C-alpha cells in the first residue's frame, strides 16, 4: 500500500493548517511520527509533497495533486460508511442529487415521489446548486447525479440529455408586452423584473446574459419560488423570465400572459451528469432511467394539449385561466 486512511486524513489536515505541529495535535500523533509519515509518503511516491518553511509548510504541485485525490477518496469513504449504515435502518440505497432551480422546484418532486413510492428502501438527498457547483460535486464524488440546463462541459464526466427546457417571459395581462407574439430578452430590460433569489441557477444565468450585453437588470424584488414570482407578476409589480413549464402551470390559476423569447439561449437542453453510469449504484441507475422515462412521457403529454400557450381572457371578460 502506498498509504492508509490515517496518512490521507493527516495530509488533508496539513494542507488546511499549513502546519505539521497543529495537524499532529489534531490527529493525536507526535510531531516526530507525523514528520515520518510524510517522509514515507514522499518516498513511496518518489517526489516531494511539502515545502518546509520557517512559518510552516506549503504544498508542492505534487502535494496539490495528492490533496485533490485524498479529498475525493475520503469523501467516498464517508459515503461508504453512510451507505452501509443505511442497512441498519432497513434502507438499502441512498442517492445524492445536485440540481438546478427548475429541477428542484418543478419536475423532480413529482418524479422522486413516484420513484420513492416504488422503491421504499431507497433514500434520496436533493440539493439545489449552481451549475458549476453541480459539476464539481459530481467530479469530487459528493453527488451521484447532477441535473443541469443549458450547455455544460465537464472533463471526464458523462452528459446524458433527457429533455428540453425553454425560458419564456411572463407578464400581467395589462402589461405593454403581454400581446407580443415573441421578442428578444433585451427588449424586456427597460421594464422592472421579478427575479429569483441570488443563489438560484436562473438568477445567475440571467445576470450573466445581462452583463455580457452591457445592460442592467432592473430587479424590483427577488423571491424564493416560481409561484411567488407569478403572484407578483400577476399584480403587475414587474415581469419575469421563467421556464415555460412553470409559466404554463401557474397560468392555469393566475391571470398571466406568456410570451416566447426569440433568443437562441432561451431553448436549453436538460441533462443529467454522472461520473460513469456503469459505476453508479443499481438504485442510482434505476433513477436515471426513471427520470428519462417520466420526462419523455411528460413531453408527449404536453404535445397532446391544444393551445398550451394560449393566454387567458383579460380581466373583465368573465373568464379566468
Residue 31 has pLDDT above 50, yes or no: yes
Residue 313 has pLDDT above 70, yes or no: no
Which three three-digit cell numbers place residue 173? 395581462
pLDDT digits (tens, 9 = 90+) for 229-285: 999 999 999 999 999 989 999 999 999 999 999 999 999 899 999 999 988 888 999
- Whole-number pLDDT of residue 1: 58
CATH of domain 86-163+268-303: 3.40.190.10
Which three three-digit cell numbers place residue 317? 371578460
User: Residue-wise over 71-95: b if at least 16 C-beta within 10 A, else e?
Assistant: beebeeeebeeebeeeeeeeebbbb
121 and 107 in contact (C-beta within 8 Å)?
no
Sequence spans of domains, the chain: 5-72, 86-163+268-303, 166-267
pLDDT digits (tens, 9 = 90+) for 94-124: 899 999 988 998 889 999 999 999 998 899 9
CATH of domain 166-267: 3.40.190.10
- Mean pLDDT for 146-151 is 90
- Mean pLDDT for 76-100 is 76
Q: Strand 145-149 vs strand 193-196: parallel, antiparallel, or unpaired?
A: unpaired
CATH of domain 5-72: 1.10.10.10
CA distance 31 to 35: 6
- Mean pLDDT for 156-184 is 94
Do 5-72 and 86-163+268-303 share a fold? no
Residue 298 has pLDDT above 60, yes or no: no
124 and 116 in contact (C-beta within 8 Å)?
yes
269 contacts: CB under 8 Å, gap ≥ 6: 149, 150, 151, 161, 163, 164, 165
Residue scoring higher pLDDT (303 or 228): 228
Q: For the chain, how far is it from start to end, CA to CA, in angstroms?
A: 67
CA distance 155 to 208: 22
State the pLDDT confidence band at 140, using cuts at 50, 70 and 90: confident
Residue 56 has pLDDT above 60, yes or no: yes
Q: Is 275 helix (H, G, I), strand (E, B) or coil?
A: coil
Q: What is the DSSP string of 209-233?
A: HHHHTT----EEEEESSHHHHHHHH
CA distance 161 to 282: 20
Nearest 10 degrees: CA dihedral of 287, 289, 293, 296?
110
- Measured between alpha carbons, how far is residue 194 from residues 97, 218, 233, 237 in Å? 28, 9, 7, 8
Amino acid at each position: 500500500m502506498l498509504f492508509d486512511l490515517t496518512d490521507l486524513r493527516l495530509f488533508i489536515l496539513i494542507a488546511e493548517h499549513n502546519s505539521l505541529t497543529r495537524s499532529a495535535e489534531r490527529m493525536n500523533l507526535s510531531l516526530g511520527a507525523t514528520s515520518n509519515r510524510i517522509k514515507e509518503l514522499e518516498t513511496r511516491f518518489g517526489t516531494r509533497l511539502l515545502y518546509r518553511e520557517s512559518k510552516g509548510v506549503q504544498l508542492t504541485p505534487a502535494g496539490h495533486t495528492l490533496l485533490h485525490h485524498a479529498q475525493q477518496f475520503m469523501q467516498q469513504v464517508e459515503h461508504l460508511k453512510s451507505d452501509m449504515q443505511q442497512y441498519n435502518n432497513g434502507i438499502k440505497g441512498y442517492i445524492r442529487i445536485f440540481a438546478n432551480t427548475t429541477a428542484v422546484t418543478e419536475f423532480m418532486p413529482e418524479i422522486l415521489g413516484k420513484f420513492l413510492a416504488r422503491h421504499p428502501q431507497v433514500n434520496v438527498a436533493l440539493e439545489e446548486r449552481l451549475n458549476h457547483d453541480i459539476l464539481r460535486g459530481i467530479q469530487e464524488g459528493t453527488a451521484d447525479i447532477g441535473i443541469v440546463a443549458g450547455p455544460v462541459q465537464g472533463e471526464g464526466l458523462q452528459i446524458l440529455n433527457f429533455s428540453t427546457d425553454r425560458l419564456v417571459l411572463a407578464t400581467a395581462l395589462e402589461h405593454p408586452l403581454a400581446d407580443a407574439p415573441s421578442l428578444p430578452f433585451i427588449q424586456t430590460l427597460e421594464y422592472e423584473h421579478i427575479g429569483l433569489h441570488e443563489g438560484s441557477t436562473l438568477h445567475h444565468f440571467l445576470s450573466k446574459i445581462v452583463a455580457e450585453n452591457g445592460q442592467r437588470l432592473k430587479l424590483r424584488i427577488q423571491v424564493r419560488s416560481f409561484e411567488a414570482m407569478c403572484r407578483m407578476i400577476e399584480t403587475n409589480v414587474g415581469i419575469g423570465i421563467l421556464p415555460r413549464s412553470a409559466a404554463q402551470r401557474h397560468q392555469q390559476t393566475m391571470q398571466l400572459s406568456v410570451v416566447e423569447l426569440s433568443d437562441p439561449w432561451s431553448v436549453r437542453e436538460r441533462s443529467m451528469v454522472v461520473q460513469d453510469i456503469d459505476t453508479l449504484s443499481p438504485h442510482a441507475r434505476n433513477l436515471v432511467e426513471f427520470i428519462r422515462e417520466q420526462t419523455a412521457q411528460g413531453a408527449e403529454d404536453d404535445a397532446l394539449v391544444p393551445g398550451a400557450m394560449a393566454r387567458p381572457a383579460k380581466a373583465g371578460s368573465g373568464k379566468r385561466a
